[in-house]
Amino acid sequence: MNPDWLEPYLAEVGRELDLGSTQLHETTNWALGVAIAAVTGLAVAGHRFPMPGTLMVVVVADVLLVRFFVRSCLAYANLHKWNRINRLAVRHMTEDNEASTTLQVLREAVDRYHLKWESPEPWWKIVKSNLKLAYGQLFAVMGGLTVYGFCLVDWDARVVGLLVLLVADLVWEALVFPRKTYLKYAGPIPGDPFAPELIPGPPGAGAQG
C-alpha cells in the first residue's frame, strides 16, 4: 500500500469516523429522549399508572429503546472499524515503510473491516460497551417501570396484547441482532498491535484467578 494512495484513503476514513461518531451520539440522544418523555408522561398521569393506557406508553417506549440500542450497537461497531483502520494506517505511516511490520496487518484490516464489513470485536463486547455508555441505566429505569406496571395493572385483552408485543419484539431482536453482517467477528488479526486480545497484560496477570 503506497503512501500516495494511503493519504487520500485516510481522509475518507476521517469522514467515516465523523459520521460514525455522529450516528452513535444521535441514536443515544434519541433513546434518552424517549425514556425522559415516557417518565414525564407517567409523572403527569399520576395515579393513572398503571392502567392499560399508561402501560402502553411504557411498552412503546421499551420497544423504541431496544431499537435505538440495536442501532447504537451497529454505529459503535462501525465507528470501531474505522478507528482501527485509522490507527493502523497512522502507525504504518510513522514507521519506516521499508521495514514496516504494520503494513500487512493494515491490508488485512482494510479487507476485513472495509470490504467484508466484519467487526473488530465480538457482538457481546459491543453490547457490553453500549450498556456502559448509557443504556444500562435506561434499561434499569424502564425495565423497573415495566415490571411494576404489569404486576399491578388490572389485566384485560389490551394488557395481554401489550405483553405479547413486548415479548415478541425482545425475542425478535435477540435472535436477529447477533446474526447481523456488521457484527460478524472472525477473531483478531494476527500481529494487530491494537487488538485487546493480543495486547500483553502486566507480568504475572495470566497466573491470577
Average pLDDT over residues 176-187: 85
CA dist 158 to 161, 163, 177, Å? 5, 9, 28
**196 in a structural domain:** no
**42 in a structural domain:** yes
Summarised one tens digit per residue, pLDDT across range 65-111 is 999 999 999 999 999 999 999 999 888 888 766 556 788 898 899 99
Output b/e per residue, 33-42; b: 16+ Cβ within 10 A.
Answer: ebbeebbeeb
Average pLDDT over residues 34-63: 91
Query: Which residue type sits at 111?
Result: D
Distance from C-alpha of 182 to C-alpha of 117, rounded to nearest angstrom? 6
**197 in a structural domain:** no
Task: Name residue, grid cell 434519541.
Answer: 30
Residue 48 binned pLDDT confidence (cut-offs 50, 70, 90): confident
Q: Would you state the pLDDT for residue 6?
A: 80
What mean pLDDT, rounded, does the chain reach? Answer: 87
Please give the share of the chain, as a percent, with pLDDT higher than 70.
90
Q: Could you write out the DSSP letters of every residue in 78-134? A: HHHHHHHHHHHHHHHHTS-GGG-SSHHHHHHHIIIIIIS---SS-HHHHHHHHIIII
Summarised one tens digit per residue, pLDDT across range 159-175 is 999 999 999 999 999 99
Which range of residues forms the domain containing residue 75? 3-183
CB 144 within 8 A of CB 58: no
Question: Most distant CA pair in the chain: distance in Å?
Answer: 74
What total number of domains does the chain contain? 1
Distance from C-alpha of 165 to C-alpha of 158, rounded to nearest angstrom? 11
**195 in a structural domain:** no
**29 in a structural domain:** yes
Q: Is 146 exposed, middle or buried (0-12, 13-18, 19+ CB in 10 A)?
A: buried
**192 in a structural domain:** no
**93 in a structural domain:** yes
**199 in a structural domain:** no
Q: Percentages helix, strand, coil for the chain, rounded to the nearest 5?
A: 80, 0, 20
Distance from C-alpha of 114 to C-alpha of 136, rounded to nearest angstrom? 30
